[in-house]
């Protein structure tokens, strides 16, 4: 067990460091959203409210008292 840990530590030391100046966001395709200049908020997709995500069935039961 100690031997395995020593080998693993040795292999970690032999790994090459990533190149300097690598743009990791571009490398992994991260989309950078621009902030609103006035508020600094990030843009979000509009929330579409439907009965499925509004828990309308539960509210109906609460109003009628049939829960």
| Residue 22: CB atoms within 10 Å | 9
DSSP letter at 57 equals H
Tell me if 33 sits within 8 A of 42, measured CB to CB: yes
Residue 65 has a pLDDT of 63
Per-residue pLDDT tens, the chain, 67 aa: give them. Answer: 777 888 888 787 777 777 788 888 888 999 888 999 999 999 888 888 887 777 666 666 666 665 5
């Amino acid at each position: 067990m100690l031997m395995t840990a020593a080998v693993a530590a040795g292999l970690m030391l032999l790994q090459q460091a990533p190149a300097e100046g690598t743009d990791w966001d571009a490398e992994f395709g991260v989309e950078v959203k621009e902030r609103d200049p006035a508020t600094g908020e990030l843009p979000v997709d509009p929330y579409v409210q439907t009965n499925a995500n509004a828990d309308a069935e539960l509210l109906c039961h609460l109003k009628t008292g049939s829960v």
